[in-house]
Amino acid sequence: MFEIDSGFKDKELSRALLRGIEKEFKSPVRFMEVCGTHTMSIFRYGIRGLLPEGLFLVSGPGCPVCVTSQGDIDLIIELSKEPEIIISTFGDLLRVPGSRGSLMDERARGSQVNVVYSPSESLEICKKTPEKEVVFIAIGFETTVPTVAATILEARAKGIKNFSILCLHKTMPEALRTLLEDEELGVNGLLAPGHVSAIIGARPYRMLSREFNMPIVIAGFEPADILQGILLLLRQLNDGRADVQNGYKRAVPEEGNLRALSLIKEVFEPCESTWRGLGKIEGSGLRLKEEYGEFDAMKRFGLSPNPSREPKACLCGEIIKAKATPLECPLFKRACTPLSPVGPCMVSSEGTCSAFYKYGLL
Amino acid sequence: MCLAIPMKVLEVKGEEGDFLNPPLAVVEASGLKKEVRLDIVDRFPSEGDFLIVHAGFAIHTLSEAEAKESLKALEEMAKGV
Amino acid sequence: MKDKTIHIDHGSGGLATKKLIEEVFLKRLSNKRLERLEDSAILDISSNQLAFTTDSFVVDPIFFTGGDIGSLSIHGTVNDLAMQGARPVALSLGLILEEGLLIDELERVAESIKDALLEAKVEVVTADTKVVQRGKADRIFINTSGVGIPYEPRLFLSSERVEEGDVIIVSGSIGDHGATILLERSGFKMDVSIGSDSCPLNGLVETVIKGVGEDFNKLKVFRDPTRGGLATVLNEIAQASNCNMILYEDDIPVKEEVRGVCEILGLDPLYLANEGKMVLICKESIKEKVLGLMKSHLYGRDSRIIGKVERNVKDESPIVTLKTTIGGERIVSILSGQPLPRIC
């Protein structure tokens, strides 16, 4: 059988691409990998150490848990304390520390917290426990949003009454714009996220690339995909170009996924959102449209947004903006470890601090 | 977190646009099989296609030919350096 | 048995207890020492060195593909003895049963204990059963302890003996048990043919120790990478010996299905539990001999050399490094907490 994934993991292919990178590399550059899964893959395969000296990769704001504001994390944890509520969430959120404790701590104290792999599994919990309110913690970028939209449409079609979401979704292009507007960013090219791009397509990056004269390559997650992305960025720099190139054609059509985009539009509308590190960004969040208000946990339980107070001395906010590395954080490996994390970047498997801690830098 | 492996479609169940009984595909990769939802996929797949999957939902369909082509393009590029 | 479920009377110490013990356990596990039902068993042992170990088993689910809590409780303790180079001589078996457990299930567990004992060539010589009220335990908890005597009394196995140049061998594919349990516990709907690797390793250990003969002293460590997986065990050995280690990802055997489960759930096979695998570290000069011996045994067929011990780092803290499939390097750190499946 044709094994598609092993091809992109191939050693020879990666070696050839690395030779290409060596050849094209002329002077020190810094590229940002925007997506958390890129960060994971780069560390997992030891890619940083294989690159020529002076070619730096820095991680961007692409780990959904990491960019969620402290106020929102606290809101989630407060919500989990309500006895009639079952929290349904992706596993990464469990250990993220709020101002006082994490969801995992609350679960140990008796809160009902269910880990799901897909938002739609929340509806099965609704069916099994009709006397409870099930709240899905909707965190994630454009890739996750349509899966939540589909779940809401399914809940409506099935007349499920005890389901709602705590909508904390964020969208990528506006955050990238905020990052790029920062003149101190010092990044020479972006590896754009693979699966966010599968939904939004290549177009949203074109404006950014033009406006900020920034080379951008959409990349997949296998080692060869990432190396190819780096090679293409180097070539653009050497040619004095700043384009958007699609290095992940097997997942990303130019126009994106129109069906998913229309589902997002059907259920959600843009709003302001608060990002850890980046602060409030107009149009970078999504909220449920009026007609889907019944699924909004904020409305259903009369919640109001918490002010954001990020933990003292924690550099997560700076790390998300590539302004600092975990090694510069006074808490890293001392007060902050995966077992007792202070900031979310140490918790999420995609977080930069977690990757530094787990895989180290050689 | 994103899943890098495209999964091969073994079987398609249900109809496009049905929200009461959302359509599913049985997919396979690395010797494991699972069902994924097809509500948000860009092109409704048929048997033998590959799917890019996120959180239990297919988000993109590519044919085997497209999959091979993308690998070939990368190999060509690697050869050219 | 007439009664369908365990109830509190089964723990009373009276007739119901006696009946349960006879019909479920003695029937299957009987031997000269156990059937005396005295307060303790007398063991006739001439060796002046004894290995002694204990372990508790609380696995959920209690039945899983490739084994159950019964076989696991025997393999676990037999393997702990074997990892010290000891032949298991006698085991104890302590059970804590939750009211409401089906007697059928208990019989299945007892049956698998019986089979595991037969394969490991060891007997349970003393046992105990307690029953707790519903909700006070999770169906069945088992504790086993065991004593063993060394296959080679002159052999001193210890992580501290590990030194630069030694080779690291693993007895087969890693992560099978952990992946199976995670998958069955998670309720993640996935159809995949993997099962636990739970098995007794005393036979494999005996084959190696006897096979190397007078070279026995070149064997340094046997360890079974259970909780925390291969990564954690190697880090522990690195710390005890103060030596760095290097592993080669290409050489670490991982079944395709386990790799797939890991990829989908965002887990690393290096951190998944094994219940029928061992890591062996020995001098480079006997590596081919040891590898051959291991491969000759049913439970070591897929043995591979996966890495080597590097320099002693003295005052620094030692690290385990992995050479990745594409030639990169990364640190393999110790497991921090329960592996959590990721967002996907």
The pLDDT tens digits of the residues spanning A168-190 come to 999 999 999 999 999 899 999 99
Q: Where are the beta strands (DSSP E) in chain B?
A: 7-13, 24-29, 32-37, 50-54, 57-62
Name chain B contacts of A90, Cβ cutoff 8 Å: 55
Closest approach of C203 to chain B, Cα-based (Å) = 31
Q: Which H, E and C letters describe C318-340, residue by residue? A: CCEEEECCCCCEEEECCCCCCCC
Q: Which residue has the tokens 């880990």?
A: A115
Set of chain B residues whose Cβ sits within 8 Å of the Cβ of A120: 22, 37, 56-57
| Domains of chain C, residue spans | 8-150, 159-332
Which residue is it, tokens 């080379």?
A215
Confidence check: pLDDT of A208 > 90: yes
Asked if residue A204 lies in contact with residue A216, where contact means CB atoms within 8 angstroms, the answer is no
Give the chain B residue nearest C264 (alpha carbons): B3
* Cβ neighbours of A224 in B, within 8 Å: 74, 78
Q: Which two tokens stand for residue C294?
A: 């291991």
Distance CA C287, CA C315 (A): 29
Residue A52 scores a pLDDT above 80: yes
Looking at every residue in chain C, the average pLDDT score rounds to: 93
Check: CB of residue A45 under 8 Å from CB of residue A223.
yes
The residue with tokens 């890495």 is: C307
Nearest CA to C320 out of C265, C262, C288, C279 is that of: C279
Residue C87: HSE in the Cβ half-sphere, 13 Å Cα cutoff: 17
Verify whether the Cβ–Cβ distance B1 to A350 is below 8 Å. Answer: yes
Please give the average per-residue pLDDT across C312-341, as a whole number.
85
Contact criterion met (CB below 8 Å) for A362 and C330: yes
C343 has pLDDT over 50: no
**Distance of alpha carbon A159 from alpha carbon A70, whole angstroms:** 34
Question: Is residue C29 pLDDT above 80, yes or no?
Answer: yes
Q: For residue B35, what is the nearest residue in chain A, using CA coordinates? A: A118
C-chain residues near B3 (CB < 8 A): 263-264, 344
One-letter amino acid for residue A60 of the chain: G
pLDDT of A71 above 90: yes
**Peptide bond before residue A61 is cis, with ω within 30 degrees of 0:** no
Residue A147 has pLDDT above 80, yes or no: yes
Pairwise CA distance, residues C127 & C25, whole Å: 9
Using left for φ > 0, alpha for ψ between -120 and 50, and beta otherwise, residue A273 falls in beta
pLDDT digits (tens, 9 = 90+) for A16-45: 999 999 999 999 999 999 998 999 899 999
- Inter-chain contact B35–C189, Cβ cutoff 8 Å? yes
Whether the per-residue pLDDT at A48 is higher than 50: the answer is yes
Neighbours of chain A (3+ CB pairs under 8 A): B, C
Nearest to residue A323, comparing CAs of A349, A348, A352? A352
Residue C252 has pLDDT above 50, yes or no: yes
Put simply, whether C260 touches B (Cβ < 8 Å) is yes
- Residue C91 burial (CB count, 10 A): 26
Burial class of residue B48 in the structure, from the number of CB atoms within 10 Å of its CB (0-12 exposed, 13-18 middle, 19+ buried): exposed
Measured between alpha carbons, how far is C166 from C27 in angstroms, rounded to an integer? 48
List the single range of A1-15, A324-338, C157-171 with lowest mean pLDDT. A1-15
pLDDT digits (tens, 9 = 90+) for A231-242: 999 999 999 999
Q: Which of B5, B34, B54 sits opposite C263 (nearest CB)?
A: B5
Helix (H/G/I), strand (E/B), else coil: C296 = coil
Which residues of A fall within a CB distance of 8 Å from C260?
none
**C75 has a pLDDT exceeding 60:** yes
**Mean pLDDT for the stretch of residues A84-88:** 97
The reported pLDDT for the residue numbered A4 is 67
Test B4 with A41 for CB contact under 8 angstroms: yes
Kindly state the DSSP code that residue C317 receives in the 8-state scheme: P
C91 has which bridge partners? C124, C146
Looking only at Cα atoms, what is the longest distance across chain A? 64
CA distance B76 to chain A (A): 10
Q: Which fold has domain C8-150?
A: 60s Ribosomal Protein L30; Chain: A; (3.30.1330)
CA C344, CA A144: separation in Å to the nearest integer? 8
Q: How high is the pLDDT of residue C46?
A: 87
Residue C14: strand, helix, or coil: coil
Dihedral of CA atoms C151, C153, C156, C157 in degrees, nearest 10, equals 10
C174-203: pLDDT as tens digits: 999 999 998 888 767 778 889 999 999 999
Instruction: Compare CB distances from B1 to C192, C261, C344 and report the shortest one's residue.
Output: C344
* Cross-chain Cβ contact C333/A50 below 8 Å: no
Residue C344 has pLDDT above 50, yes or no: no
B80, pLDDT greater than 80: no
Q: What pLDDT score was predicted for residue A308?
A: 76
Chain B CB within 8 Å of residue C266 CB:
yes
Q: Where is C81: in which H helix or E strand?
A: helix C69-82
Contact C28, C114 (CB under 8 A): yes
| pLDDT averaged over every residue in chain A | 93
What pLDDT is recorded for position A361?
62
Average pLDDT over residues A200-216: 96
For chain B, domains (ranges, CATH) are 7-79 (2.30.30.140)
Contacting chains of B (3 CB pairs or more, <8 Å) are A, C
**What percentage of chain A carries pLDDT values higher than 90?**
81
Calpha distance A222→B33 (Å, rounded): 21
In this model, does residue C226 exceed pLDDT 90? yes
Q: What is the mean pLDDT of residues C98-111?
A: 96
Q: How many CB atoms lie within 10 A of CB C7?
A: 18
pTM: 0.90
What Rg, from alpha-carbon coordinates, does chain B have? 14
Name the closest residue on chain B to residue C258, using Cα atoms. B30
Nearest by CB to B59, from A158, A222, A260: name it: A260
CB C70 within 8 A of CB C109: yes
- Asked if the Cβ–Cβ distance from A153 to B52 is below 8 Å, we say no
Here the tokens at position A315 are 């550099």
- Residues of chain C contacting B33 with CB distance shorter than 8 Å: 190-192
- C205-218 burial, b for 16+ CB within 10 Å, e for fewer? bbbbbebbeeebeb
Q: How far is A59 from chain B (nearest CA, A)?
A: 14
Chain C residues touching A92 at Cβ < 8 A = 340, 342-343
Asked if C218 and C307 touch (Cβ cutoff 8 Å), the reply is: no
CA–CA dist C163, A152 (Å, integer): 60
3-state secondary structure chain A: CCCHHHHHHCHHHHHHHHHHHHHHCCCCEEEEECCHHHHHHHHHCCHHHHCCCCEEEEECCCCHHHHECHHHHHHHHHHHCCCCEEEEECHHHCCCCCCCCCHHHHHHCCCEEEECCCCCHHHHHHHHCCCCEEEEEECCCCCCHHHHHHHHHHHHHHCCCCEEEEECCECHHHHHHHHHHCCCCCCCEEEECHHHHHHHCCHHHHHHHHHHCCCEEECCCCHHHHHHHHHHHHHHHHHCCCCEEECCCCCCCCCCCHHHHHHHHHHEEEEEEEECCCEEEEEEEEEECHHHHHHEHHHHCCCCCCCCCCCCCCCHHHHHCCCCCHHHCCCECCCECCCCCCCHHHCCCCCHHHHHHHHCCC
Q: Are A355 and A45 in contact (CB under 8 A)?
A: no
Per-residue model confidence (pLDDT) at position A3 = 63
Is pLDDT at A161 greater than 50 in this prediction?
yes
> Does any CB of chain C come closer than 8 Å to the CB of residue B37?
no
Share of chain C above pLDDT 70, in %: 96
* A48, closest residue in chain C (CA to CA): C328
Q: Which residue has the tokens 């402290």?
A: A70
Q: Residue A141 in contact with residue A35, Cβ under 8 Å?
A: no
Residue C339 binned pLDDT confidence (cut-offs 50, 70, 90): low
Q: Is A8:A225 a contact under the CB 8 Å cutoff?
A: yes
Confidence (pLDDT) at A2: 55
Query: Which member of B2, B57, B73 has the closest CB to residue A118?
Result: B57
pLDDT (mean) for A199-206? 96
> A95 contacts in C (CB within 8 Å)?
337, 340
For residue A94, the chain C residues in CB contact (below 8 A) are 340
Of the partner residues B20, B59, B75, the one whose CB lies closest to the CB of residue A13: B75
Give the confidence band of C3 by pLDDT, cuts at 50, 70, 90: low
Q: Which numeric CATH code is attached to C159-332?
A: 3.90.650.10
Q: Answer whether C264 sits within 8 Å of B3, measured CB to CB.
A: yes
Residues forming beta bridges with residue A76, ordered by sequence position: none
The residues near A272 (Cβ < 8 Å, ≥ 6 apart) are: A280, A281, A282, A283, A284, A285
Q: Which of C107, C105, C127 is nearest to C115 (CA)?
A: C107
Question: pLDDT-based confidence at C341, cuts 50/70/90?
Answer: low
Domains and their CATH numbers in chain A: 28-61+183-246 (3.40.50.11750), 65-171+256-300 (3.40.50.11740), 316-359 (no CATH)
- Which position has the token pair 């902050």? A336
> Lowest mean pLDDT: which of A175-179, B1-5, C227-231?
B1-5
Confidence (pLDDT) at C115? 97
Given pLDDT bands bounded at 50, 70 and 90, which one contains residue A1?
very low
Q: Does C343 touch chain B (CB under 8 A)?
A: yes
CB-based contact, B35 to chain C, within 8 Å: yes
The tokens of A77 are what?
């944890």
Any CB–CB contact under 8 A between B13 and chain C?
A: no
Residue pLDDT, tens place only, B62-79: 999 998 888 888 888 888
The DSSP output letter for B28 is E
Edge-to-edge, what's the strand order for the sheet holding C329-332? C219-223, C279-282, C167-170, C304-312, C243-248, C320-323, C329-332
Q: C324, C249 in Cβ contact below 8 A?
A: yes
